[in-house]
Amino acid sequence: MQSSSSPALPASLSQPVRRPRVVGWGRLPAWLRFSLLLAGLIGIWQAYVTIKSPDQLLFASPRDVGEAFVNGWRDGALASATWTTVKVLAVGIGIGAGIAVVLTVFATLTKLGDDLLTLLTSILNPLPGVAVLPLALLWFGLNTNALLFVIANATIWPIAINITTGFRTVNPTIVSVGRNIGLSTRRLVTDVLVPAALPHTISGLKTAWAFGWRTIIAAELVFGLSGADGGLGFFINNAKLYLQIPQVFAGLVTIAALGVVFETLFGVIERRTVVRWGMKTVPTTK
């Protein structure tokens, strides 16, 4: 006997559409969802420590870490370490960006420059910053210049690639408009090419920052001074030497938190510029 008059549907369609289970969760505001998730993870962490009691010299509880974190900021150790790291990173990225701009302009104007940039990038980009560090220490001595060199190397290539791509993919119509309204070449570059390439520039800076951040922490771990001059990487290493495990964790928490801060910052910048101008659909970070 025929069961129904309608044609046979594939199995997935013949069942009623189910509403997603956690309808309530999706409705909560973003900050609440993430805070709850974070609290849950910390809860699991604390439970593990309470139940399994791992060796204090290997693992710390959330409470101890929290305490170390608060104390670290209160007595200024974490603050000065953070400032040191951020300072060196900023200068390093500045140098990297400067060199990248020079290389990019050269690459955009001449074919020789373009080839040079491509070659250098393929050779030097894959080098992890920390791998260059021993050589840098030899050339620049045991001081911050070696770190700056390493950071610059880590950041030049992502920035240069992105800006070059940005310049290359500028809509030629816009450039024609710029020439039409009578812009000099200099103004054409600053008022048309640079803003048009902004999405790529920001993308390049984000990548450069990501590489640079990871590089400097790693480099600080390998090479660092004692005392007030050390950055976050050194802070962690030092804490470990003194077997202060909660401080090690606190340092890691600081690094992670700073990572979030900077990414948020980039998101804000993007929202104010490229998203507002419709040159990019959504910021890549929340």
Partner 1 sequence: MVYAYLCYKSAFSEEGWSRMSSTLSRLRQRRDALPDATLAGTDAVLSVSNVQLGYWTPEGFSLAVEDVSFEVRPRERIIVIGPSGCGKSTLLKAIAGFIAPAGGSIDVAGRRTLSPGPDRAVVFQEFDQLFPWRTVLDNVAYPLRVNRRSRSEAASAARGFLELAGLAHAADRYPHQLSGGMKQRVAIARALALEPAILLMDEPFGSLDALTRARLQGELNGILDRTHTTLLFVTHSIDEALVLGDRVVVLGNAPSTVQELVDVREVGAPDSPAYADMRRRLRRLLAHEGEEVDEDAVFV
Partner 2 sequence: MQRIPTGRRLALVLTLIVAIAVAALAATVAFAGGGPGGPPDKLVIAYQPGIGYAPLIVIKDQRWIEKRYPGTQVEWKVLASGAAITDGVIKGDIHVGAGGVGPLLVGWARGVDWKYIAPLNEGDLWLMAKDPSIRTIEDLRGKRIAMPSPTSIQAMVLRKMAQVKLGDARALDRGIISMDHPDAMQALLTGQIDAHLTSPPFQFQEKIRGAHVVAKSYSYFGAHSFLGAMVTQKFYDEHTAFSRALYQDVQRAMDMIAKNPDKVAKILQQDAGGTPTNRQFKQWIVNPALKYTTRPRGLVRFAAFMNRIGVINRMPSSWRDLVFPPVYPTKGS
Interface positions with partner 1 (CB under 8 A): 171, 173-174, 176-177, 179-183, 187, 191-192, 195-196, 198, 273, 276-279
Q: Which does 12 bind (CB under 5 to 8 A by kind): partner 2, partner 1, none?
A: none
Check residue 135 for interaction with partner 2 (CB under 8 A). no
Residue 162 near residue 127 (C-beta atoms within 8 A)? no
Nearest to 216 by CA among 275, 133, 109, 124: 133
Cβ proximity to partner 1, 117 vs 198, nearer residue: 198
Closest Cα partner for 255 from 69, 62, 34? 69
Minimum distance, C-beta of residue 226 to partner 2, in the bound complex (Å): 4
The site for partner 2, by CB under 8 A, has a size of 18
Q: How far apart are CA 150 and CA 215, in angstroms?
A: 8
Sequence-distant (≥ 6) Cβ neighbours of residue 43 within 8 angstroms: none
Minimum CB–partner distance for residue 228 and partner 2 (Å) = 6
Q: Which of 91, 191, 240, 258 binds partner 2 (CB under 8 A)?
A: 240
d(CA 78, CA 55): 25
Query: Residue 271 or residue 276: which is nearer to partner 1 going by CB?
Result: 276
Could you write out the three-class secondary structure of 72-88?
HHHCCHHHHHHHHHHHH
CB of 57 to partner 2, least distance (A): 5
In contact, 267 and 285? CB cutoff 8 Å: yes
What is the amino acid identity at position 259? G
- Which one of the spans 68-76, 90-98, 174-182, 241-249 is the region binding partner 2 (CB under 8 A)? 241-249
**Which among partner 1, partner 2, none contacts residue 156 (Cβ within 5 to 8 A by kind)?**
none
Q: Which does 24 bind (CB under 5 to 8 A by kind): partner 2, partner 1, none?
A: none
In angstroms, the first-to-last Cα distance of the chain is 57
Closer to partner 1 by CB, 33 or 276: give it. Answer: 276
224 contributes a contact to partner 2 by CB under 8 A:
yes
> How many residues in total does the chain contain?
286
Distance CA 156, CA 180 (A): 34
By CB under 8 A, residue 226 contacts partner 2: yes
> Which of 171, 181, 229, 277 forms a contact with partner 2 (CB under 8 A)?
229
Sole window of 76-84, 118-126, 181-189, 234-242 interacting with partner 2 (rule: CB under 8 A): 234-242
Structure token digits, residue 262: 């900077």
